[in-house]
Amino acid sequence: MSSRIAFLKGHGTENDFVIVPDPDNVIDLPAAAVAALCDRRAGIGGDGLLHVVRSAAHPEARAMAAEAEWFMDYRNGDGSTVEMCGNGVRVFARYLQHAGLVTEGDLAVATRGGVKTVHIAKATADGGPAAGEITVGMGRAVLPDGDVTVTVGERTWPARNVNMGNPHAVAFVEDLAHAGDLYTRPPFHPASAYPHGVNVEFVADRGPGHVAMRVHERGVGETRSCGTGACAVAVAAARRDGADPAVTGTPATYTVDVLGGRLLITERPDGEIEMTGPAVIVAEGEIDSDWLENAVR
């Protein structure tokens, strides 16, 4: 480990990440190191960490190297690994563009949830709503069978079980305040529905094709945004509203307001889901490796 480690800080709709470029996969980042870096008081602070590695250099991504040069080795703020992070993919792509490793247009990013297609929109002089935004192909949703409920205090709601490469329980509520503080994961039933934990989304309607959500992410707590969660919410809303694209033959598009901004989710009749939103690099600097080594002892 060198005496200094380069890092950047970025966010997508205020879902924020520590970014560690490491093309050759030579930096040791155990769970304790990730947790120390993501600590908001003693570290840099972030909902998670984006470890930027060439696919050919990482054992979990070598099989995808022919399709995608770069692998998003994503970790939650507690250091645990996760299959996929939609906001993280956008910020990951923005970093690659920022570093001059890719240009505007299409690229592929390898993740533990498979290879994701990404489109970086061209920045325009008029600063239109899509100027410079990033669209990610999020794949297809899986809707496991079985009834699920989530509970906050004395209230219990039915929840739609949606898997976007990671598991989600989507509950529609009258008021987002009913979700409580979301520092801890709301209880769900049955426990067997999510043996490895779950992201829980609470959703309130704002108008036709327009919803707002709050989310508890497993391994993190409440976050300002969750990309896979927004996709799960749109899928659940389309089924609730009788707008399943596989049935209607037309795309279903939902505007999803998160605490940190707004995402646009479209599910096509073939089941493919696209998410569009902003991604921003806000800072870059160096980590003192001596501090990091001491932080994980």
Find all residues with CB under 8 Å of 106, minimum gap 6, and list them: 117, 118, 119
What amino acid positions are annotated as catalytic residues? 85, 226
pLDDT at 260 over 90: yes
State the pLDDT at residue 183: 87
Residues 6+ apart with CB under 8 A from 209: 253, 254, 255
What is the DSSP secondary-structure string of 112-134?
Answer: TTEEEEEEEPPP-TT--TTTT-E
Residues 28 and 40 both lie in one domain: yes
pLDDT tops 70 at residue 130: no
CA 71 to chain centre: 15
Helix H or strand E segment including 54:
strand 48-54
Per the domain annotation, does 140 fall within a domain? no
**Best CA proximity match to 164, nearest among 265, 55, 285:** 265
Q: What is the pLDDT of residues 59-117, one digit of tens each?
A: 999 999 999 999 999 999 999 998 889 999 999 999 999 999 999 999 999 999 899 99
β-pair type (4-12, 15-21): antiparallel
Number of H helices, E strands in the chain: 5, 18
Q: What is the mean pLDDT of residues 12-16?
A: 95
Q: Name residue 36's beta-bridge partners.
A: none
Task: Please indicate, yes or no, whether residues 15 and 120 belong to a single structural domain of this protein.
Answer: yes
142 belongs to a structural domain: no
What's the predicted TM-score (pTM) here? 0.90
Q: How many domains does the chain have?
A: 2
Question: Does residue 141 lie within any of the structural domains?
Answer: no
Residue 87: enclosing H or E segment and its boundaries?
helix 86-98
Whether residues 89 and 164 fall in one domain: no
Binding-site residues from annotation for substrate:
15, 76, 86-87, 166, 199, 217-218, 227-228
Any domain includes 77: yes
Q: Of 113, 123, 51, 48, which Cα lies nearest the Cα of 87? A: 48
Domain interval for residue 98: 4-133+279-295
